[in-house]
Amino acid sequence: LYEKRWMVLTGVALAVMFLAIVGSVFGAGIQVPGVYGQVNPARLPNTPPFDQPGVRQLGPGRYEATVIAHIWAYSPNEIRVPAGATVTFNLTSRDVIHGFRIEGTNVNTMVIPGQIARVTHTFKKPGTYLFLCHEYCGVGHQNMFGRVIVE
Ligand code: CUA
């Protein structure tokens, strides 16, 4: 009788470990490219860098742009950097799933509430680069855009 109990316990322990492995694989599987961290959408005003959206210079030619997506706009919706700037975008959503694609570049990521997306691009040519939401997010979806102005 005792041996049987131990076999059952061992079996349960193995099953738990197996489920933990499957769980972690699945958890990693639903991550999208560009996602590098977690953030509580309800606490964005108290969570750096999202407490201060906008552009910050990190060093010579290096910038960081923190942008919050929400229905149905980006805050901020205009980012100004000099030509040649390498800009790292920190993005998250305050509400539903949005997208972030900058036309004329390879920048294209989902913006998911609770997760931080990070993408980097060097803007060599001056001009206006439209960015827009490419995930349907409700009736105001088509109004969701902004621009990077490279001077
Ligand atoms: Cu936000 Cu579509």
State pTM to two decimals.
0.77
Higher pLDDT, 14 or 146: 146
Q: Distance, CA 7 to ligand 1 centroid (Å)?
A: 53
Taking residues 44-70, report their average pLDDT.
96
Does position 119 have pLDDT exceeding 60, yes or no? yes
Report the alpha-carbon distance of residue 68 to residue 56 in Å, rounded.
Answer: 15
Q: Which residues line ligand 1 (CB under 6 A)?
A: 98, 133, 135-137, 141, 144
* Predicted local distance difference test score (pLDDT) of residue 25: 52
Closest atom of ligand 1 to CA, residue 72:
1
- pLDDT band for 53, please (50, 70, 90 cuts): very high
Tokens 């490279």 found at: 150
Helix (H), strand (E) at residue 62: strand 62-70
Query: How large is the average pLDDT for residues 45-49?
Result: 92
Check residue 36 and give its pLDDT: 72
Q: Which atom of ligand 1 is nearest to the CA of 98?
A: 1
> Of all protein residues, whose CA lies closest to atom 1 belonging to ligand 1?
98
Is residue 85 pLDDT above 70, yes or no?
A: yes
Reported ipTM: 0.99
Q: Considering only 3-12, 16-25, 35-44, 115-124, which range has the smallest mean pLDDT? A: 16-25
